[in-house]
Amino acid sequence: MNTELQSLRIDKSHRAKRDEKRVWPWVLLLILLAGGGAGVWQWHNTAAGAEVETMQVRMPEGAAAANDLVALQATGYIIAAHKIELASKVVGRVAWIGVEMGDKIKKDQILVRLEDDEYQARVAQQKGQLDNAKARLAELVAGSRPEEIAQALALWDRAKVEYENADLAYQRLVQVKGTRSVTQTEIDDAEALMKARKAQAESVHQQYELTKAGARKEQIAAQAATVSQLEGSLAMSMIDLNNTVIRAPLASTVLERNVEVGEFVTNGFVGDRGAKGYVVSLADLNDLLVELDISQNNFSKVFSDQPCWIVTDAYPDKKYNGVVERISPLANRQKATVLVRVKVLSPDELLKPDMNATVSFLSPQKAAGTQGSAAAGAEKPAIRVKATAIREGAVFVVENGKAIRRPVTVGLTASNGDVEIKKGLSVGEDLIVSPPATLHDGDVVKMQAGKP
């Protein structure tokens, strides 16, 4: 019995191993919870960011603000100073197109070719007529050939002999007149023949003189005029043939392509679905203007050659310099406005025709400064900040809750210790007054407004 009871007793070593297996998952869970809590605590501290003292960048007292430099703001549209709708000088069907919208082209570059079979045939016809007229003129100028003169002389000699024979026969009959051997009828016939031979001889003699003298100057002049007329016709045909090749009149950019291969172009009436009046639209995008309608109430604030700032809706952070180039001599009675065009001094590829633009017309004081006044440069003092804000040639500004490192160009130091910033800061930015040594570009920070 004791032996059997001994075999039923539980082994304590196995029980310890089983208890150890049950404890390990709980230990692992506790380790994970502790690590997650530490990560959350660290993330919370990081997200909160270091607390820094900031100040808003301002102009020194007495300095002119940007708004004080602007006399007037108006909105308009960017246009090309010179827009060309290039049309064909001749009618024809489009055979080839070599450009697309947006292509930059050079002067005299071939843009479109029209079918030219008819124009080539017309040129060949005009050349044949001109060659014929020139040959006739050369013949008239050269005169008769020696052989032609000799032939005319021989005909005259023969006519003279015939006349002389007829005259001699007539004289013989006259001498025996009144006798029975000759009648009056025979005498009359001989006289008529003599006169006919005489007239024929005179005609042949005149022909001989004409042949020997050559063409009259009036005939030569008339033929020369015919040659000139045909030369003009050939020149017109050549111009029409050359006009089947349409070239760029200037270096520009293709704004629009208005035709396709196979379409018919014309230089006359243009229908909605018929022939096209122009093939491409071109403009020099290096010569841009802003066109505005200025209210008559504000027109006194605008003057010729007035400097301006130009900002587009598409790129509000980019400012372009401009100048008032043209003021319309007429006002618009219906809208009570005056048309003004402002020239963009240094346009780039970002500016497109028909783009919205806001123009700031600068005040006369600023205008005088841009025309070379040395004193005007002192009207706008440089920004000044505390010396503690500068670290290794840079400052930190707060943007969207992050510290952004901004390299700056420093100038003179004032008597109160403030440092002049010539470049790198803008009015209205939040500047960190005393950035910690551990602060890096892009770190999350929490602003605490300080004294300006």
In a domain, 99, yes or no: yes
Q: Are residues 18 and 91 in the same domain?
A: no
Q: What whole-number percentage of the chain has pLDDT above 70?
A: 80
Residues 267 and 344 in one domain: no
- Band of residue 270 on the pLDDT scale cut at 50, 70, 90: low
In a shared domain, residues 256 and 308: no
Please report the pLDDT score of residue 252 as a whole number: 92
Of 353 and 11, the structure prediction assigns the larger pLDDT to: 353
Question: Looking at 58-62, 108-112, 135-139, 216-220, which range is the least confident one?
Answer: 58-62
- The enclosing domain of 105 has a CATH number of 2.40.50.100
At 275-323, the pLDDT tens digits run: 667 899 999 999 999 999 999 888 889 999 999 999 998 888 788 999 9
Other beta carbons within 10 angstroms of residue 94's beta carbon come to: 20
Residue given tokens 């089947």 in the structure block: 244
Is the predicted pLDDT of residue 337 greater than 70, yes or no? yes
Residue finishing a domain among 354, 377, 400: 377
Segment 396-416 shows an average pLDDT of 83
| More confident call, 217 vs 293 | 293
> Radius of gyration of the chain from Cα atoms?
53
- Asked whether the predicted pLDDT for residue 428 surpasses 50, the reply is yes
Q: Say yes or no: 310 and 368 in one domain.
A: yes
Beta bridge partner(s), residue 54 = 432, 449
Contact yes or no for 109/274 (Cβ under 8 A): no
361, part of any domain: yes
Walk across the sheet containing 409-413 and list its strands. 383-385, 419-423, 409-413
Domain closes at, from 377, 397, 415? 377
Q: Does residue 110 sit in helix, strand or coil?
A: strand
Q: Residue 132 falls within a domain, yes or no?
A: no
Residue 451 is predicted with a pLDDT of: 43
Let me know if residue 337 belongs to a domain: yes
Are 273 and 417 part of one and the same domain? no
Residues 293 and 369 in one domain: yes
Report if residue 123 sits inside a domain.
no
In a domain, 154, yes or no: no
CATH number at residue 444: 2.40.420.20
Residue 75 near residue 357 (C-beta atoms within 8 A): yes
Say whether pLDDT at 446 is over 70.
yes
State which residues form the domain around 15.
Answer: 2-48
Q: Is residue 137 in some structural domain? A: no
Predicted confidence (pLDDT) per residue in 131-151, tens digit: 999 998 988 888 777 788 788
Query: Are residue 274 and residue 355 in the same domain, yes or no?
Result: no
Q: Give the pLDDT of residue 26.
A: 67
Q: What pLDDT, on a 0 to 100 scale, did the predictor assign at position 229?
A: 95
pLDDT digits (tens, 9 = 90+) for 360-384: 998 875 545 444 433 333 344 567 8
Among 356, 377, 398, the domain-final residue is 377
- Condensed to tens digits (0 to 9), the pLDDT of residues 65-117 reads 445 578 889 999 999 998 898 989 999 999 999 999 999 999 999 999 999 99
**Do 32 and 58 fall into the same domain?**
no
CATH value at residue 344:
2.40.30.170
Q: Please state which of the ranges 24-38, 327-341, 411-425 shows the lowest mean pLDDT.
A: 24-38
349 part of a folded domain: yes
Residues 415 and 441 in one domain: yes
Closest CA to 358 of 346, 371, 368, 344: 344
Closest CA to 340 of 374, 301, 378, 370: 301
303 and 385 fall within a common domain? no
pLDDT tens-digit series, residues 4-50: 655 555 555 555 555 555 656 666 677 777 666 555 445 444 445 67
Give me the pLDDT at residue 61, please: 47
Count of domains for the chain: 4
Number of other residues whose CB lies within 10 A of the CB of residue 122? 18
- Same domain, yes or no: 299 and 361: yes
148-173 pLDDT, tens per residue?
A: 878 888 888 888 899 899 999 888 88
Strands 445-449 and 50-56, bridge-based pairing: parallel
Taking each helix axis from N to C end, the angle separating 117-142 and 217-242, rounded to the nearest 10 degrees, works out to 160
Q: Residue written as tokens 């006399």?
A: 71
- 357 shares its domain with 385: no
Question: Would you say residue 187 has pLDDT above 90?
Answer: no
Reported as a pLDDT band with limits 50, 70 and 90, residue 450 is very low
In angstroms, the CA 391 to CA 431 distance is: 12
Whether 425 and 57 have beta carbons less than 8 Å apart is answered as yes
